């Protein structure tokens, strides 16, 4: 998922006491992806906060039955995307050159990864790159690549907008 779920009362105020009684316990979250403050009461437990480059600031206000309040020091929460994208990659592959030809031209997406996805980014925002025997390829597909007979190590890497990446390696034998 593309959010952090606050586990239980971890960030809630505790051991609250007042000689006349507590009327309300409220929070205000600012910063991060919230253009307007997010407010609520009693607990942050279960709240889902999306990742953002900027920190979130949580301020608690405790008010007693007589309207007297105390405001907490801001609590800073940083939520970041640290999950790599995923994709389906092929295992080792064998391709045969046509009769009388000593090379094979890859056609379409026959050897490209499939099912690209990421917890936060759209598929169109992911980068997809490959190397053949350690040499970077040109683009995000093997389509049109011509290889002479032999065995090649293909490494695919997909990267999301936060720099998280995943890769796979397989051998292609022509």
For the chain, the farthest-separated pair of C-alpha atoms sits apart, in whole angstroms, at 95
Question: pLDDT digit string (tens) for 35-56?
Answer: 899 999 999 999 999 999 889 9
Helix (H) or strand (E) holding 76: strand 75-77
The pTM of this model reads: 0.78
Q: Is the pLDDT of residue 32 over 90?
A: no
The pLDDT value given to residue 110: 92
The pLDDT value given to residue 106: 94
State the sign of the Cα–Cα–Cα–Cα dihedral 169, 154, 135, 122. negative
| Percent of the chain clearing pLDDT 90 (strictly above) | 87
> What is the average pLDDT value for the chain, to the nearest integer?
93
Q: Is the pLDDT of residue 94 over 90?
A: yes
Question: pLDDT digit string (tens) for 124-145?
Answer: 999 999 999 999 998 899 999 9
Confidence of residue 68 (pLDDT cuts 50, 70, 90): very high
The pLDDT value given to residue 47: 94
| Residue given tokens 């906060």 in the structure block | 49
Instruction: Count Cα atoms within 13 angstroms, Cβ side, for 8.
Output: 2
What gap in Å lies between CA 35 and CA 157, rounded to an integer?
34
Residues 31, 57 contacting (CB under 8 angstroms) = yes
Question: pLDDT digit string (tens) for 99-118?
Answer: 888 899 999 999 999 999 99
CB atoms within 10 A of CB 163: 9
């Amino acid at each position: 998922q593309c959010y952090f779920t606050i586990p239980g009362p971890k960030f809630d105020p505790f051991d609250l006491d007042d000689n006349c009684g507590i009327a309300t316990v409220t929070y205000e979250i600012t910063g991060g992806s919230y253009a307007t403050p997010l407010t609520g009461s009693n607990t942050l437990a279960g709240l889902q906060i999306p990742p953002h480059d900027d920190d979130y600031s949580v301020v608690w206000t405790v008010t007693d039955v007589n309207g007297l309040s105390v405001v907490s020091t801001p609590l800073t929460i940083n939520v970041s995307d640290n999950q790599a994208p995923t994709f389906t990659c092929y295992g080792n592959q064998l391709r045969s050159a046509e009769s009388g030809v000593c090379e094979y031209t890859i056609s379409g997406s026959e050897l490209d990864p499939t099912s690209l996805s990421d917890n936060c980014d759209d598929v169109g925002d992911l980068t997809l790159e490959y190397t053949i025997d350690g040499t970077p390829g040109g683009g995000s597909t093997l389509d049109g690549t011509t290889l002479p007979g032999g065995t090649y190590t293909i490494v695919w890497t997909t990267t999301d907008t936060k720099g998280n990446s995943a890769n796979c390696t397989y051998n292609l034998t022509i």
